[in-house]
Amino acid sequence: MKKVLYTLLFIAGLGFSASAQNATTGAMITLDKDVHDYGTISQGADGSCEFKVTNTGTEALTITSCKGSCGCTVPKCDKAPVNPGASSTISVKYDTKRVGPINKSVTISSNAANEPTKVIRIKGKVEAGDATGAPIKETPGGAPVNN
């Protein structure tokens, strides 16, 4: 009976050991942030931001695609392999001509063992502005006043 129990424990130990090794090998994607918050920005302002991607794995990380959740969010990612320990940048451009809240996502597809599909987000608010992009202030009665 003891031999059977020891044999089962040994086999279970091998299974845990093999799965622990799989979790630490291969390409691994790590980002400096999951969300970029623009805060409140003016209409027509620069809607660009960057996410730093680092390969914390043991094999080259290949990003196959970066897709925005709509046409107003345009990501650019480098398709060149990212070696272990190296970094790359994903740039995201949001169209700030649209007034209102920003809550968009970018889906990153890669060969990462830890997260083959990673979703990052951008958020904030675009305030109405005049032709120069400066915010439009309102009088106490609510009428717009350009500065």
pLDDT tens per residue across span 38-61: 999 999 999 999 999 999 999 999
**How far is 21 from 16, CA to CA, in rounded Å?**
9
Residue 64 covered by a domain: yes
Residue 63 covered by a domain: yes
Domain housing 84: 27-128
| Total count of domains within the chain | 1
**How far is 142 from 146, CA to CA, in rounded Å?**
13
Mean pLDDT of the 72-99 span? 96
Q: What is the pLDDT of residue 16?
A: 47
Residue 80 covered by a domain: yes
